[in-house]
Chain A
Amino acid sequence: MTLTAAPQTTTAFDLGPARALSCRECGHEIPLAAEFACPECFGPLEVAYDFDDVTRASIEAGPKSIWRYRRLLPVPSDVQIHPNTEPGLTRLIKADRLAQALGVRKLWVKDDTGNPTHSFKDRVVAVALAAARELGFTVLACPSTGNLANAVAAAASRAGWDSVVLIPSSLEQAKVLTTAVYEGTLLAVDGNYDDVNRLATELAAEHEDWAFVNVNVRPYYAEGSKTLGYEVAEQLGWRLPQQVVVPVASGSQLTKVDKGFTELGKLGLVEATPYRVFGAQATGCSPVSKAFAEGHDVVQPVRPDTIARSLAIGNPADGPYVLDAVRRTGGAVADVSDAEVVEGIRLLARTEGIFAETAGGVTVATARKLIAEGRLDPDARPCC
């Protein structure tokens, strides 16, 4: 089944159902390769697919990891035989006590702290590593301020690859240790995340065998977030949630959860019922929320100043696509103060026994705000 209208392209790579890279702006397609920008208009590229017949039964018979969805991902058909961190199939919790505290009828929490390095980044890195191996890379790399550094270093160790991770030297000691313990190359740079990102982009151009997961293999990496959407639907009994609240950093995760829901509906794996997507940001880094509130299509960059550091991307690459998704589905983007983030962390911990990072606090606090403002329906079936 083809989900985008475009000419067929051929490829030498086995990346499962992936057919080509397609520009999100102009629709131009190129063969599968380690590219991230459209050669025609410099727009971002994403993976386009020709899906085979995928059934619920074939998925349910698969491994207890994201690889049960491998026929919906840009990964080789033999992805499971290579050592990897096997992320995914994390808990979906029916959060009755949190629902009561927030004043909603039903609430589920997707708890991705259960991944191997305790964040959803294990999903995207696993997909990036699998694609990178097929594309001929031999080193796994990234610029990062925390979760991604952990995930890349761990995935490389598990696979027996070298890793190169660039971090700002001001990073908290705990984040440095939880990456350094895997004993890849960890360079601390005396600069901010923008400096680190710039240096990574330069290195990606100089080292043909280095896969910078969020730079030169980003189109494949980003697809890993679709598995959050697939899992939520499968764990709900092959249904889509009526409302979903997703934290927004680059915005990629929200757009890919939306893409995953859409694909499941088009493939007949779920009934394509309406759903609304909501974005959550910290006020100290809320360029997408601001653009949404002001009715803009363009996101103006900001200088981040928030405790939610894993969401502190001042110039979010997928910001315009987040605005498209939330407006198309009837959702919204909102933001909360750092004090509200802390209260969100504590509320989730005391009601459901989950100690989340600050991004989790942003999600809970934003849901509370959206409910209070009447923008999130308390009688629907929401999922955070």
Chain B
Amino acid sequence: MLLITGDGLKTLDAVAGEVGPSATVPASSKAVREALAARGL
């Protein structure tokens, strides 16, 4: 049994440097397809 005692919303700074977008791309179909392909999708 694990007790989770509060939500992560109030401590976003803890993960701010660790997670983020997989990629930032121009608003074009080609760019999106390439970004997804780079992730094996």
Interface residues of A (CB under 8 A from B): 118, 139, 162, 164, 166-167, 169, 173-174, 176-178, 180-181, 183, 185-191, 195-196, 199, 202-203
Contacts and interface: CB of A to CB of B under 8 A. Distances in A.
Given A164-B41, A191-B27, A199-B32, A181 B15 contact: yes
A190 B19 contact: no
A187 B36 contact: yes
B19 A185 contact: no
A187 B23 contact: yes
Interface string B30-41: 001001100101
Given A177-B19, A203-B32, A190 B25 contact: yes
Interface in B1-34: 7-9, 12, 15-16, 19-27, 29, 32
A190 B26 contact: yes
Candidate in B12, B16, B21 with the most chain A CB atoms within 10 angstroms: B21
B25 A189 contact: yes
Contact of A188 (B9, B19, B21, B29): B21
B28 to A, nearest CB: 8
5 contacts: A118-B7, A166-B32, A185-B39, A186-B20, A188-B25
Given A177-B15, A188-B21, 11 more contacts: A139-B41, A162-B41, A169-B21, A169-B24, A174-B12, A176-B21, A180-B19, A185-B36, A185-B39, A186-B22, A187-B23
Contacts of A190: 24-27
Contact of A187 (B8, B9, B32): B32
A180 B21 contact: yes
Contacts of A177: 12, 15-16, 19-20
B24 A199 contact: no
A376 B23 CA distance: 48
A47 to B, nearest CB: 29
Nearest to A173: B16
A191 to B, nearest CB: 3
B32 A189 contact: yes
Contacts of B27: 189-191, 195-196, 199
Contacts of A189: 24-27, 32
Contacts of B32: 166, 187, 189, 199, 203
Nearest to A210: B41
A188 B12 contact: no
Contacts of A118: 7, 9
**Which A-B residue pairs are the 3 nearest by beta carbons?**
A191-B27, A188-B21, A195-B27
A174 B32 CA distance: 23
A166 to B, nearest CB: 8
Contacts of A176: 20-21
Contacts of A181: 8, 15, 19
Contacts of A164: 36, 41
A180 to B, nearest CB: 4
A164 to B, nearest CB: 7
A178 B16 contact: no
